[in-house]
Structure 1
Amino acid sequence: MTSILGLSLTALLVAGFIWFLPILLILRSRKTNGAEKLFWILAVVFVSWFAWILYLLLAPLGERKGSEH
């Protein structure tokens, strides 16, 4: 019984990390900042990985100020 419980806990932790991974990647990204970054994080929380894929394709939504990249 203990191994089944341990396996379930491990699976839950792995699933939680996979769910949280896009949020960490957005937080560490330099593509956006401020309110736009908050928007993308909320989109990931409420919409799922599809929002992260859109982030990779579309971010930044507007022109960044002070950047010559």
Structure 2
Amino acid sequence: MGISFLFSFLILALFWVIPLIMIAKSDRTHGGEKVAWILAVIFISWFAWVFYLLLAPLKQQSNA
């Protein structure tokens, strides 16, 4: 196991964690729905993140 393997593993791990961080910080969902999306990303990976971006409720616009 060389340094290139470790570097490759870290890059792949980073790409796997990015959707989790983005969903956790998002204001589009709350509570149990957010937990469900995070679990979906953990078990289904990037496909669930794409569905989250497409299907999660949009922020309500203020009527100012």
Place the TM-score, normalised by the shorter chain, in its bin. 0.7 to 0.9
Greater Rg over alpha carbons, structure: 1
Partner of 1:33: 30
Report the Cα distance in structure 2 between the residues aligned to 1:68 and 1:48, rounded to whole angstroms.
27
Q: Equivalents in 2 of 1:15, 1:68: separation in Å?
A: 34
When the two chains are superposed, the root-mean-square deviation of aligned CA atoms in Å is 1.7
- Moved beyond 6 Å, runs of 4+: none
Identity of aligned residues (%): 44
Alignment pair present for 1:14 and 2:11:
yes
Query: Aligned AA for 2:25?
Result: R
Aligned-partner Cα distance in 2 for 1:7–1:51: 29
Unpaired stretches in structure 1, ≥5 consecutive residues = none
**Separation in structure 2 between the aligned mates of residue 19 and residue 52 of structure 1, nearest angstrom:** 10
Q: Equivalents in 1 of 2:27, 2:16: separation in Å?
A: 21
TM-score by length of 1: 0.80
